Amino acid sequence: MLISIIIPSRDRAVYLKYSVQTALNIQDKNIEIIISDNASTDHTREIIRRIDDTRLKYFNTNKRISMRANFENALKASSGDYVIFFGDDDGIIPQQFKFIRNILEKHKPDALSWDFLTYTWPIKDYAKKSGSLRFEHRKIYGNVIKSTKKIYLETLLNAELGRHNYLPRIYHGCMSRKFLDKLVNEDGLYFCSRSPDLHMSFRAAQYGGNFLRINHPFTINGISPASTGGGSRSTDKNNKALSKSFEYIAETEIDPIKDVLPLTKSMGFSFLSALETLKHHFPNPPLQVNYNKWYAFCLSTIPKGDTKTATEIINCVSLHAKKTSTERELNSINPGYIYIKYKFLRLISKIKHYPFSFRVFAQLDMQNNILSAAKAADIILKQDLKDIIEEKTSHKSSVKNAKKRGKRLNKQMITNQLVYFEN
């Protein structure tokens, strides 16, 4: 069974060289690592050329295209029986990869999703608690769980998404080639939205299939100033630091495949846009969306203190409600109450789970980047998941051992000064 690991990239060689190395460190001959370079103008090509590994395949679009189109090209360039996507500032945890393969070969699911760790690149004055990983007890050493189309649809239709972790995913998750081929539109396109990861999750939930998930991290979500997610929602053209974001916007606008809703700074509205675009391309089976909950979700993600953006989002939501005759659902919502409610729920969740987690510094050998983070994750997690799956040990015991390893790693870090990453 061949597994494709796909990394779309654009002008982020400084991150990519560490990100791709996490995949290259996987001890598995039956993988291919696809780098889909969206006509980068930095030294991306040179970095890839220096790597001597037959599993690595490099493709260059030769002209700037949208992120959606780059995802499309990358998937069509791959040949694996299963496909995994992650970003060029993200990473995969090498020694945990064998568990992905074991699950896929044993159960042959249409999709497998998992929890991921989050790592903020340690760039000076960029973010607090950068250069470290937080391990939540409930998100490590879990068993394989089968879910149903009904559960996923309820999650989607009622906007109970959180970070859409509980939907089938191709981004920080994987899907089978056979299943993906069932999801294409009439033009043979896999991705039909400017948010290709969201589109594929929503499309899979709509279609239904044999879906598995596991509460255990196999990948690391990297957060950096170059991350597309935040940049793609930026609209302040006077901010020179956001120039890359406006390149993204320009490329999105020339893509012939359009979303049905405009681009805004709201995460919630981006999710709604992906859902409405899905309905446009795939009207069957029809989706009975709970717009009251979706509008509440959109309004809860309005950036605090940004009056201009708040007005823009409210206007966009209002226009959508008018076009879809769902003004009643929107008018029943108190924006102030919704914001406070969601903020309170997030706080409660944090208080509830914070004591049952531990943080580990990701610095090894005076290096702190996604590669050292992946190595640190493997040190913490080891191969204990095997004993969990085979029911040879308990979750509580495995977590306890992981915490001990984390304390030892942190003690080693205390003797050293935090190394910042020069982006």
CATH number of the domain bearing residue 23: 3.90.550.10
What is d(CA 26, CA 164) in angstroms, rounded to the nearest whole number? 27
Whether the full predicted model's pTM is greater than 0.85, yes or no, is: yes
Q: What is the pLDDT of residue 351?
A: 79
Q: What is the pLDDT of residue 162?
A: 63
**Under 8 Å between Cβ of 176 and 84:** no
Residues paired with 146 in a beta bridge: 212
Are residues 153 and 277 located together in one domain of the fold? no
**Is 372 among the domain residues?**
no
* Structural domains counted in the chain: 2
Are residues 147 and 96 located together in one domain of the fold? yes
Residue ranges making up the domain that contains 161: 3-120+142-223
Query: Any idea what DSSP says for residue 225?
Result: T
The angle formed by the CA atoms of residues 357, 358 and 359, to the nearest 5 degrees, is 135
What is d(CA 50, CA 57) in angstroms, rounded to the nearest whole number? 12
Burial (Cβ within 10 Å: 0-12, 13-18, ≥19) of residue 33: buried
What is d(CA 267, CA 246) in angstroms, rounded to the nearest whole number? 17
User: Of the candidates 305, 328, 353, which is a domain's last residue?
Assistant: 353
Q: What is the pLDDT of residue 3?
A: 98
Q: What is the pLDDT of residue 231?
A: 42
Sign of CA dihedral 10, 11, 15, 18: positive
**Is 401 among the domain residues?**
no
Are residues 264 and 338 located together in one domain of the fold? yes
What is d(CA 198, CA 204) in angstroms, rounded to the nearest whole number? 10
**Is 420 among the domain residues?**
no
What is d(CA 317, CA 338) in angstroms, rounded to the nearest whole number? 15
Are residues 160 and 53 located together in one domain of the fold? yes
Sign of CA dihedral 414, 420, 230, 119: negative
Q: What is the pLDDT of residue 234?
A: 40
Are residues 195 and 285 located together in one domain of the fold? no
Q: What is the pLDDT of residue 239?
A: 45
What are the residue ranges in the chain where pLDDT is below 70? 162-165, 228-246, 337, 339, 414-416
What is d(CA 141, CA 124) in angstroms, rounded to the nearest whole number? 33
**Is 247 among the domain residues?**
yes
Distance between terminal CA atoms of the chain? 37
Are residues 209 and 313 located together in one domain of the fold? no
Are residues 260 and 162 located together in one domain of the fold? no
Cis check for the bond before 285: say yes or no (omega within 30 of 0).
yes
**Is 61 among the domain residues?**
yes
Are residues 156 and 253 located together in one domain of the fold? no
Are residues 188 and 68 located together in one domain of the fold? yes
**Is 360 among the domain residues?**
no
Structure tokens at 5: 């690991």
